[in-house]
């Protein structure tokens, strides 16, 4: 249940947001978001709750820190190995309905 | 933002080269560091990073799987409640964790009603749609506990209660650091837990034990960069908290989530399976929330379960030593033989975040040869 999943906010209402996780859309709760979330934000989701709005400037900060550790060139990753796992996890969560048994809840 | 930025193979190779250089500059082997997060182990295994680590560096998985460290008596409480006819909802990984006399899955097979949920919010919905009692068997570290706290504060129906097996990570790092025979010289702290607690929560630990801590994310570059920083500090004799996951972690954490967490839970001491009694390591509901505390609402009779002795196999299980970083799955005679994912003996083989399960799935330290990681192949 420790897998935090980043996604793109596509719709927001008072208590929830519709978030796109690599093409899979899920409604998540905003109770734990520590600052206002708007459409277009990236957010970190955990067990159906937004736990962090990810400012794009902070992504750049992280990358710069890595460049400080090693003077790096640019390039692209050829494969998105983790995306499949993450999608599996989200889908295992079902469309907001609890499962009776069988399939893993995917929360862990 | 694209996640691929954090999987860039060129940067990964450079970081790996930097890691090898720093470890060789330390000039002795092995240098042992510990991470305390199942998601770190999953990422290390999925991307094949371990095969590319320098030979002089041991990256040990500590007690970072909340399911694995849930102790037998806690499982027994869930099993006992379910066998008493109370309907449970819980996260999927909890189902097959062995208790004294069987798991929740065994109870389910015997007719107990147990619903698997992805989120505690689904468990609350279940209670809203049904008149009967629903107990949410809650496991997970602070990252997950805040969600439980959020639904409780937002208001739950009167037929909903919580059996808390939530755990709090910072205190167990103290236990591992003080464990006799420990070789751990630095910690990678879990980025998601630190998203909630903030990086400053580790400062007292660093001051007390003079061990460096780096807060790390879960992408390959996050982990490699964090290892470079951690070994740099070991090389230079520096003990500080460094946050290498600033896109999610701030010094003070998520204040709103922390307010909810401590409004609902209080830390108490408790046993972590295989590890030790961990002072302040468990999260129990505060007295003002007794009306949603399943331990207050129900008489949970675990005595009948606890009278049975653990099986011979269970006594051979070394999950505790594995989670303490003293042994690896390969040191266990059961691993891959009597203990496999379909028939787990120890908790570490149950959860997708457990060390044994991950090593069984991915092969521990694959000999990949030249390529530093799978996504570079």
Looking at per-residue confidence, does B271 or B4 come out higher? B271
Angle between helices B220-236 and A56-69 (to 10 degrees): 50
Query: Among residues B142, B98, B105, B136, which one has the least CA distance to residue B118?
Result: B136
List pLDDT tens digits, range B92-104: 989 988 888 889 9
Q: How confident is the model at residue B50 (pLDDT cuts 50, 70, 90)?
A: confident
> DSSP per residue over B200-243, as a string?
GGGHHHHHHH---EEEE-SSHHHHHHHHHHHHHHHHHT---EEE
Average per-residue pLDDT for chain B: 89
**Residue A58: its chain B contacts at CB < 8 A?**
246-248
A46 contacts on B by Cβ (under 8 Å): 143-144, 147, 192
- Joined together, the tokens standing for residue B298 give 């129900």
Contact B322, B332 (CB under 8 A): yes
Q: Give the per-residue pLDDT at B185.
A: 96
Strands, E, within B30-118: which ranges?
Answer: 31-35, 57-61, 87-90, 114-116
* Structure confidence at residue B165 (pLDDT): 96
Q: Among all chains, which residue has been given the structure tokens 């409604």?
A: A27
Instruction: Answer whether residue A107 is part of any domain.
Output: no
| Tokens representing residue B82 in the block | 């379910």
- The total number of structural domains in chain A stands at 1
The predicted structure's pLDDT at residue B363? 74
CATH code at A16? 2.30.30.140
What pLDDT is recorded for position A70?
56
Contact between chains at B91 and A108 (C-beta distance less than 8 A) = yes
Tell me if A108 is assigned to some domain.
Answer: no
pLDDT at B111 over 90: yes
- Nearest-Cα residue of chain A relative to residue B193: A2
The domains of chain B are located at 3-66+181-253+366-376, 72-169+254-306, 312-352
Q: If pLDDT is split at 50, 70 and 90, which confidence band does A92 have? A: low
- Residues of chain B above pLDDT 70, percent: 93
Give the range with max mean pLDDT: A16-25, B97-106, B125-134, B324-333: B125-134
Tell me which residue range forms the domain holding A27. 5-73+83-92
Q: Bridge-partner residues for A70, per DSSP?
A: none
* Rg of chain A (C-alpha set): 16
Same fold yes or no, B3-66+181-253+366-376 and B72-169+254-306: yes
Chain-chain contact of A59 with B247 (C-beta, under 8 angstroms): yes
DSSP assigned state of B293: B
Q: Is A73 helix (H, G, I), strand (E, B) or coil?
A: coil
Is residue A97 pLDDT above 70, yes or no?
A: no
With CB atoms and an 8 Å threshold, state whether A72 touches B38. no
pLDDT at position B305 is 67
Residue with more model confidence, B285 or A75: B285
Q: For B1, which of A59, A80, A107 is closest by C-beta distance?
A: A59
Query: What integer pLDDT is reported at residue A101 of this predicted model?
Result: 35
Average pLDDT over residues B14-36: 92
How far apart CA B92 and CA A15 sit, in angstroms, is 26
Instruction: Confirm whether A57 is domain-assigned.
Output: yes
Q: Which two tokens stand for residue B303?
A: 């005595």
Measured between alpha carbons, how far is B14 from B18 in angstroms, rounded to an integer?
6
Dihedral over Cα of B21, B190, B353, B79: its sign: positive
CB contact under 8 A, A29 and B9: no
Using the predicted structure, report yes or no on whether residue A94 has a pLDDT greater than 80: no
Q: Name the burial class of residue A5, with classes exposed (0-12), middle (13-18) and buried (19+) by CB atoms within 10 angstroms of its CB.
A: buried
Could you tell me the two tokens for B55?
A: 């030979």
B288: exposed, middle or buried (C-beta count within 10 Å: 0-12, 13-18, 19+)?
exposed
Chain B contact for A77, CB < 8 A? yes
B248 and A31 within 8 Å at the Cβ level: the answer is no
pLDDT in tens, B183-240: 899 999 999 899 999 999 999 999 999 999 999 998 888 999 999 999 999 999 999 9
Give yes or no for residue B69 having a pLDDT over 70. Answer: yes
The radius of gyration computed from the CA coordinates of chain B, to the nearest angstrom, equals 21
Q: Please say whether the beta carbons of B47 and B220 come within 8 A.
A: yes
Q: How would you write B21-42 as a 3-class SS string? A: HHHHHHCCCCEEEEECCHHHHH
State residue B255's pLDDT score.
Answer: 96
pLDDT of residue A103: 32
Bridge partners (DSSP) of residue B340 are B343
Domain B3-66+181-253+366-376, second-level architecture: 3-Layer(aba) Sandwich (3.40)
Res B377 pLDDT > 50? no
Q: Does A20 touch chain B (CB under 8 A)?
A: no
Q: Is residue A62 part of a domain?
A: yes
Q: Measuring CA to CA, how many Å separate A36 from each of A9, A18, A41, A51, B331?
A: 12, 14, 10, 12, 49
CA distance A5 to chain B (A): 10
Report whether pLDDT(A107) > 60.
no
B335 within 8 A of B360, measured Cβ to Cβ: yes
pLDDT more than 90, % of chain A: 26
CA distance B65 to B41: 10
Q: Flag whether A78 is in a domain.
A: no
Query: Of the candidates B38, B80, B33, which has an alpha carbon nearest to the alpha carbon of residue B347?
Result: B38
Residue A65 with chain B: CB contacts under 8 Å: 225, 244, 246
Q: Average the pLDDT over B68-87 and give the result.
A: 92
Contact check, Cβ <8 Å, A51/B374: no
Per the CB < 8 A criterion, the answer to whether B286 and B260 are in contact is no
**A24 HSE (CA, 13 A, CB side):** 19
What is the distance between the alpha carbons of residues B255 and A32, in angstroms, rounded to a whole number?
A: 9
Q: How far apart are CA B64 and CA B58, in angstroms?
A: 16
| Residue bearing the bigger pLDDT, B248 or B314 | B248
Q: A42: which strand partners?
A: A8, A54
- pLDDT for the residue numbered B321: 83
Tell me whether A46 touches chain B (CB under 8 Å): yes
Answer yes or no: are the C-beta atoms of B63 and B36 closer than 8 Å: yes
Share of chain B above pLDDT 90, in %: 59
pLDDT grade for A91, boundaries at 50, 70 and 90: low
Give me B58's structure tokens: 């041991």
How many angstroms away from the CA of B339 is the closest CA of chain A?
20
Cis upstream peptide for A100 (omega within 30°): no
For residue A69, what pLDDT is reported?
A: 66
**Mind listing the pLDDT tens digit for each residue in B227-278?**
999 999 999 999 999 999 988 899 999 999 999 999 999 999 999 987 889 9
Give the ipTM. 0.83
Architecture of domain B72-169+254-306: 3-Layer(aba) Sandwich (3.40)
Nearest-angstrom CA–CA distance, B49 and A82: 13
pTM of this structure: 0.84
């Amino acid at each position: 249940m420790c897998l935090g999943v980043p996604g793109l906010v596509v719709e927001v209402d008072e208590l929830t947001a519709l978030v796109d996780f690599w093409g899979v859309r899920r409604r998540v709760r905003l109770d734990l978001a520590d600052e206002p979330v708007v459409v277009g934000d990236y957010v970190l989701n955990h067990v159906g709750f937004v736990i962090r709005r990810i400012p794009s400037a902070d992504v750049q900060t992280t990358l710069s820190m890595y460049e400080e550790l090693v003077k790096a060139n640019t390039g692209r990753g050829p494969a998105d190995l983790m995306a499949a796992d993450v999608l599996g996890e989200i889908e295992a969560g079902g469309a907001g309905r609890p499962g009776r048994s069988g399939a893993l809840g995917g929360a862990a | 933002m694209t996640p691929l930025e954090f999987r860039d193979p060129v940067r990964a190779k450079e970081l790996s080269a930097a890691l090898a250089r720093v470890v060789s500059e330390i000039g002795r082997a092995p240098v042992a560091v510990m991470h305390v997060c199942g998601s770190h182990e999953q990422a290390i295994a999925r991307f094949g990073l371990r095969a590319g680590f320098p030979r002089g560096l041991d990256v040990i998985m500590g007690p970072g799987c909340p399911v694995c460290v849930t102790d037998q008596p806690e499982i027994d409480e869930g099993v006992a409640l379910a066998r008493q006819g109370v309907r449970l909802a819980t996260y999927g990984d909890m189902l097959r964790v062995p208790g004294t006399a069987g798991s929740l899955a065994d109870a389910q097979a015997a007719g107990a009603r147990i619903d698997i949920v992805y989120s505690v919010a689904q468990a609350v919905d279940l209670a809203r749609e049904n008149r009967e009692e629903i107990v949410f068997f809650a496991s997970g570290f602070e990252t997950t506990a805040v969600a439980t706290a959020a639904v409780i504060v937002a208001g739950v129906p009167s037929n909903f209660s919580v059996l808390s097996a939530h755990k709090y990570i910072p205190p167990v790092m103290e236990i591992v650091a003080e464990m006799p025979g420990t070789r751990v010289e630095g910690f990678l702290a879990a980025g998601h837990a630190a998203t909630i607690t903030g990086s400053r929560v580790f400062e007292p630990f660093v001051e007390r034990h003079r061990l460096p801590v780096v807060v790390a994310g879960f992408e390959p570059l996050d982990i490699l960069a964090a290892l470079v920083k951690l070994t740099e500090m070991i090389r230079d004799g520096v003990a500080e908290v460094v946050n290498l996951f600033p896109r999610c972690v701030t010094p003070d954490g998520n204040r709103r989530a922390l307010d909810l967490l401590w409004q609902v839970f209080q830390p108490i001491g408790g046993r972590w399976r295989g590890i030790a009694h961990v002072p302040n390591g468990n999260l129990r509901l505060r007295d003002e929330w007794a009306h949603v505390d399943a331990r207050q609402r129900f008489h949970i009779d675990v005595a009948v379960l606890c009278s049975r002795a653990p099986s011979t196999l269970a006594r051979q299980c070394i999950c505790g030593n594995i989670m303490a970083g003293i042994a690896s799955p390969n040191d266990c005679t059961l691993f891959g033989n009597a203990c496999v994912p379909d028939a787990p003996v120890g908790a570490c083989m149950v959860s997708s975040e457990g060390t044994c399960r991950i090593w069984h799935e991915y092969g521990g330290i694959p000999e990949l040869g030249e390529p530093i990681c799978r996504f570079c192949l």
